[in-house]
Amino acid sequence: MDVTDDDYINLMSALLPPGPAWSADDPAIIGAAPSLRRAHQRADDLMLEVDPRTTTELINRWETCCGLPDECIPTGTQTLQQRQNRLDAKVNLIGGINERFYLDQLAALGKPGATITRYNKGPFKCTSACTEAVYSTEWRYYWQVNMPAATDATWMTCTDDCDTPVRYWGDTVAECVISKLCPSHTYVLFKYP
C-alpha cells in the first residue's frame, strides 16, 4: 500500500488533543510527515527481506547462513532469481528419502519432467518373466534419475588439452544437489536422452 505525506498529516492530526492549541496545518506535523512516510516505506521494504524468495538486500547474509553458494554452484554464475530459488529450496527443504522428495527437488532445479527408476526388484530368477532385467542384489542400492530433455553436449576441439573428454554433457548443478541429498548408502545414476 502506498502511503503519502497527506496520510500521515491526517493520521497525526487525528491523534491531536481537541482544542485550539494544535491545528492540522501546524509546521511540526507537516514537517514530520515525510520522515514517517519514509520510515513506513523502509519497514515495508525490510519485510520483503524476511522471505528468501523476495530478499535482495540481505541475500548475501541469507546465503552465508545457509552455506550457499556451495560446491554445486560456483559463485557469480546465477541470476538473482536463481539465487532466491536455490535459497528458498534450501531454507524450506522438507527432508525425505522418497521418490516424491527428489522429484520435487529436481522440479525446483528446473527439471520438472524428470523421473526416477529404481532397481529394487531383486535378482533375476528362473521364475522371473523374460522381460525383467537382470540385476544382482547390489543393484538395490542404485537408482537412476532420468532427465527430461537432452542437455547441450560439448565436443572436444583441437585447442583442448589431451585430458579433455571427447564429449561431455549433463546438468552439473542438478547432479550435484541430488548427489548431496541422496542417502549415503545409495548410488545415483543420471541418464540423459
Least confidently predicted of 25-39, 54-68, 115-129, 133-147: 115-129
Give yes or no: residues 178 and 107 share one domain. Answer: yes
Confidence at 150, pLDDT banded by 50, 70, 90: low
Counted residue by residue, the chain has a size of 193
Q: For residue 121, give its domain range.
A: 98-191
Give yes or no: residues 61 and 122 share one domain. Answer: no
pLDDT surpasses 90 at 168: no
Q: How many independent structural domains does the chain possess?
A: 3
DSSP 58: T
Give yes or no: residues 43 and 29 share one domain. Answer: yes
In whole angstroms, give the CA distance from residue 144 to residue 125: 23
Which of 37, 66, 93 lies at the terminal end of a domain, its last residue? 93
Q: Percent of the chain beyond pLDDT 70?
A: 93
Mean pLDDT computed over 134-142: 79
Confidence at 22, pLDDT banded by 50, 70, 90: confident
Q: Which pLDDT belongs to residue 70?
A: 82
Q: Percent of the chain beyond pLDDT 90?
A: 20
Mean pLDDT computed over 79-91: 85
Contact at 8 Å (CB) between 117 and 128? no
Give yes or no: residues 24 and 76 share one domain. Answer: no
Give yes or no: residues 103 and 122 share one domain. Answer: yes
| Mean confidence (pLDDT) of the chain | 84
Mean pLDDT computed over 172-178: 86
In whole angstroms, give the CA distance from residue 107 to residue 177: 12
Q: Which pLDDT belongs to residue 1?
A: 62
146: Cβ–Cβ under 8 A, 6 or more apart, which residues? 114, 115, 116, 117, 191, 193
Q: Which pLDDT belongs to residue 14?
A: 87
Q: Which pLDDT belongs to residue 152?
A: 65
3-state secondary structure 87-142: HHHHHCCCCCCCHHHHHHHHHHCCCCCCEEEECCCCCCCCCCCCCCCCCCHHHHHE
The three-class DSSP label of residue 170 is coil
Please count the other Cβ atoms lying within 10 Å of the Cβ belonging to residue 36.
16
The set of cell numbers assigned to 153 is 553436449
Q: Which pLDDT belongs to residue 122?
A: 65
Sign of CA dihedral 15, 20, 23, 26: negative
pLDDT (tens digit, 9 = 90+) per residue, 105-137? 888 777 888 999 988 766 667 787 777 767 777
Alpha carbon 7 to chain centroid, angstroms: 39
Mean pLDDT computed over 142-154: 80
In whole angstroms, give the CA distance from residue 115 to residue 137: 23
pLDDT surpasses 70 at 151: no
